[in-house]
Amino acid sequence: MPKPVVISIDAMGGDHGPSVVVPALEIAAKTLPDVRFLLHGDEAALNAELARAPAARAVCTVVHTDKSIAMDEKPAQAMRRGKGSSLWNAVEAIRAGEAAACVSAGNTGALMAISKLILRMSADLERPAIVASWPTMKGVSAVLDVGANVESDAEQLVEFAIMGAAFHHAVHGSERPTVGLLNVGSEEQKGHEEVREAHRILQDSPHFDFDYRGFVEGTDIAYGTVDVVVTDGFTGNVALKTAEGLARFFGAEIKQTLTAGPLAMLGALIASGSLKKMKQRLDPGRVNGGPLLGLNGIVVKSHGGADANGFASAVRVAVDLARSDFTAEIDRNLKRLTAEKDQAAKDDGADGAETQGAAE
Amino acid sequence: MPKPVVISIDAMGGDHGPSVVVPALEIAAKTLPDVRFLLHGDEAALNAELARAPAARAVCTVVHTDKSIAMDEKPAQAMRRGKGSSLWNAVEAIRAGEAAACVSAGNTGALMAISKLILRMSADLERPAIVASWPTMKGVSAVLDVGANVESDAEQLVEFAIMGAAFHHAVHGSERPTVGLLNVGSEEQKGHEEVREAHRILQDSPHFDFDYRGFVEGTDIAYGTVDVVVTDGFTGNVALKTAEGLARFFGAEIKQTLTAGPLAMLGALIASGSLKKMKQRLDPGRVNGGPLLGLNGIVVKSHGGADANGFASAVRVAVDLARSDFTAEIDRNLKRLTAEKDQAAKDDGADGAETQGAAE
């Protein structure tokens, strides 16, 4: 029996609000056992949707607010004026102990700023990272950061490795995730200083709950060479969006190709079942749900434009994380990193002269 | 009548050497009028291949050398020991005025180092950039840098814009190319300092032979939103390889999907003509040929693993560039950039007080 969990939902977030969120919860209620939802948003709008969603209605509690944060509101403004909004209340429910995790399709910057304000970062992490679940030839890989941190130093990249591995373990079920650092080649002298320094730290720390496999390249993401691909938020965001654009290009090309003439159309008709399955397998919405990692609490960001199936998978991610050992695993590995740094500093201090001599 | 050109070829470069290069020249000789080739490499191996390639034989002159540069040789080593190799001689032929451009599928680092040594950089450019021709929903966009420069400052990004626009004009025929800067969002405050500074320079300089359109995101590459996408070599390389990996993933998925059962197979058989056309349209080999931009001379890098069709398209790129106003266009725009900087400095000096007053 899975343990019962309560998930707090920002029902007004995203491009579609309740008209997508409630049907998504209907799907979630039917497929995820023993989950209850706290629905933050406009009571009238939510009850109208819930009237058509019996499974969701049975497990939802509506918490009314008539305030919400606009998708284009600046994070600083949202922090100042967002108190009492559906997004704010959804996050606050975690801090108050009423929910184990929260899901929002709202404004990413606002969600990040408010989550950081209310929940605080765990250990001495600086900023949350966003992780993407990326379909690959072998299954699903975790790629992070995909946009929270425009520049990342070596230490942050190592933290991403720790958080990404814990996420992959919790949500995608790998026993001991393999981790790679994204670079422009696999040779040690390639890439910029941050990447090479992170490589040295990861290589010299064999006590993590994951297997560090060294540098990987862009092609390795789709190949599924490693379970976790670590990169800075700028590169990760560009890679993710480049792939999303290409996926849509392929979709359009397939459609056009298979309707180009009577023979192709006949072929497409016959093969349509298989093509549909393929489209589902590659659909980014199927693996929607990017948690903000590094917070004292589980906050999952859904795509703003996600449909009901997409939002439902973000909910599944939140439930998986809430039921896992996720936060403890991150803390454990961060402590190991700190312990090794302390030990290294101590060793340096104790026998610095000897080490210096041995280095030549 | 197109003007006659001589292209110098490193016939020993790449994973396959003469067995791909000569069949590629056979294709090129049949499709490109009034082109002659200087073939640098092992005479015996080349003559054996040319015996089976009558069209190429008629327009090729073999220049023998038994020396070649290994695909995994370090650039520094290649520079020291590479003199007299097929790659070296192919580049040297440009400097000597024997050829208008050169094509090599050899070691990228070695090609870049040796080209820089022999041809030197034009104007005050620092390092060559590599441009990729990227198939999009609207045609082909130029994306650069895709790997020559791991870190790029604002000035380099502006130079990439100038070089990329000249390339797109020469090879892909746009009259006045549109240019975008790759970023993680379209708002001005997003991205790191180098990108924002380059944005300011490009926005304030309206006298280039291209239209600067501001920031673009990863999705815009496949959409073909702009003709030229400008980014640093790290991000560009990751984006390009991520897309290559995804394209292969899609290819594998389509194949698997369409052979998954008898109905799908029948459909695939009927639609195979259209699917084949689509595969060709998306094939990176079709737009193979990334010139090293910024040199005093035209050097085109082919993928090491390109097949004869791929190498032939790299040859076509070299011919198009050789017949164009390419180098002059780059020089012209670089001069405009310098002139505007000088003017700005002069203005600042002449009426600094007035400007300061007006700024408030």
Residue contact B137–A249, C-beta within 8 A: yes
What is the model's pLDDT at position B209? 87
Q: What is the largest CA-CA distance in chain B?
A: 80
Touching check for A140 and chain B: CB below 8 Å?
Answer: no
What is the model's pLDDT at position A255? 75
The closest of B3, B86, B84 to B43, measured between CA atoms, is B86
- The mean pLDDT value of chain B amounts to 87
Under 8 Å between Cβ of B266 and B113: no
Q: Nearest-CA residue of chain B relative to A246?
A: B222
Selecting from A221, A241, A271 the residue whose C-beta is nearest the C-beta of B245 gives A221
A interface test, pick of B73, B188, B242, B244 with most A CB neighbours within 10 Å:
B242
> pLDDT band at residue B278, thresholds of 50, 70 and 90?
low
Q: Which ranges in chain A belong to alpha helices (H)? A: 18-31, 43-50, 54-59, 75-81, 86-95, 108-119, 154-172, 193-203, 218-223, 233-257, 262-282, 308-323, 326-350, 352-359
Under 8 Å between Cβ of A235 and B235: yes
The closest of B16, B12, B8 to B306, measured between CA atoms, is B16
Rounded to whole angstroms, how far apart are CA atoms B63 and B130?
Answer: 27
Classify domain B125-287+327-360 at the CATH superfamily level: Isopropylmalate Dehydrogenase (3.40.718.10)
User: DSSP string covering B102-143, please?
Assistant: EEE-S-HHHHHHHHHHHH-BSTT--S-EEEEEEE-SSSEEEE
> pLDDT band at residue B359, thresholds of 50, 70 and 90?
very low
Q: Write out the CATH class of domain A126-246+327-360.
A: alpha beta
Mean predicted confidence (pLDDT) in B65-83: 91
Give the mean pLDDT per block of 10 residues along chain A (360 residues). 87 94 97 96 97 96 95 89 96 97 92 94 82 90 86 91 92 92 80 91 86 94 95 93 85 75 69 66 64 92 89 93 87 82 72 40
Rounded to whole angstroms, how far apart are CA atoms B337 and B206?
Answer: 10
ipTM entry: 0.84
Selecting from A245, A252, A267 the residue whose C-beta is nearest the C-beta of B221 gives A245
What is the model's pLDDT at position A351? 52
Give Cβ neighbours of residue B246 (< 8 Å, ≥ 6 apart): A221, A222, A243, A246, A247
Residue contact B233–A184, C-beta within 8 A: yes
Selecting from B151, B182, B268 the residue whose C-beta is nearest the C-beta of A238 gives B182
User: DSSP string covering B268-283, please?
Assistant: HHHHHHHHHHHHHHH-
In Å, how far is B132's CA from the nearest CA of chain A? 14
What is the model's pLDDT at position B1? 59
What is the model's pLDDT at position B274? 65
Selecting from B237, B261, B274 the residue whose C-beta is nearest the C-beta of A218 gives B237
Q: Which residues of B touch A218 (CB under 8 A)?
A: 237-245
The closest of B112, B138, B135 to B125, measured between CA atoms, is B112
Q: Which residues of B touch A233 (CB under 8 A)?
A: 184
Residue contact B267–A264, C-beta within 8 A: no
The closest of A8, A10, A114 to A67, measured between CA atoms, is A10
In Å, how far is A156's CA from the nearest CA of chain B? 16
Residue contact A267–B264, C-beta within 8 A: no
Q: Which residues of A touch B190 (CB under 8 A)?
A: 150
DSSP assignment, residue A15?
Answer: T
pLDDT reading at B164 higher than 70: yes
Helix (H) or strand (E) holding B60: strand B60-64
Touching check for B76 and chain A: CB below 8 Å?
Answer: no
What is the model's pLDDT at position A32? 94
Residue A354 is encoded by which pair of tokens? 């000897």
> pLDDT band at residue B188, thresholds of 50, 70 and 90?
low
Count of residues in chain A: 360
Give Cβ neighbours of residue B309 (< 8 Å, ≥ 6 apart): B24, B27, B285, B286
Residue contact B241–A252, C-beta within 8 A: no
Cite the residue boundaries of each domain of chain B with CATH code 3.40.718.10: 1-120+295-324, 125-287+327-360
Rounded to whole angstroms, how far apart are CA atoms A276 and B256?
Answer: 13
> Three-class SS of residue A293?
strand
Residue contact A238–B137, C-beta within 8 A: no
Q: Nearest-CA residue of chain A relative to B243?
A: A243
Instruction: Give contacts of B 87-126 with A, CB under 8 A.
Output: none
Rounded to whole angstroms, how far apart are CA atoms A175 and A209?
Answer: 9
Rounded to whole angstroms, how far apart are CA atoms A46 and A11?
Answer: 8
Touching check for A137 and chain B: CB below 8 Å?
Answer: yes
Cite the residue boundaries of each domain of chain A with CATH code 3.40.718.10: 1-120+295-324, 126-246+327-360
Residue contact B274–A252, C-beta within 8 A: no
Touching check for A241 and chain B: CB below 8 Å?
Answer: yes
Under 8 Å between Cβ of A185 and A317: no
Rounded to whole angstroms, how far apart are CA atoms A88 and B41?
Answer: 69
Residue contact A242–B221, C-beta within 8 A: yes
Residue contact B184–A151, C-beta within 8 A: no
What is the model's pLDDT at position B101? 96
Q: Which residues of A touch B229 (CB under 8 A)?
A: none
Rounded to whole angstroms, how far apart are CA atoms A128 and A300?
Answer: 12
What is the model's pLDDT at position B173? 85
Residue contact B271–A250, C-beta within 8 A: no
CATH topology of domain B1-120+295-324: Isopropylmalate Dehydrogenase (3.40.718)
What is the model's pLDDT at position B351? 52
**How many A/B residue pairs have CB atoms within 8 Å?**
184
What is the model's pLDDT at position A12? 96
Instruction: Give contacts of A 149-188 with B, CB under 8 A.
Output: 150-151, 182, 184
Q: Nearest-CA residue of chain B relative to A247?
A: B246
Give Cβ neighbours of residue A133 (< 8 Å, ≥ 6 apart): A140, A141, A142, A171, A172, A287, A289, A290, A317
Give Cβ neighbours of residue B68 (< 8 Å, ≥ 6 apart): B12, B13, B41, B42, B85, B86, B87, B106
Under 8 Å between Cβ of B41 and B76: no
Degrees (nearest 5) of the Cα angle A351, A357, A360? 140
Touching check for A206 and chain B: CB below 8 Å?
Answer: no
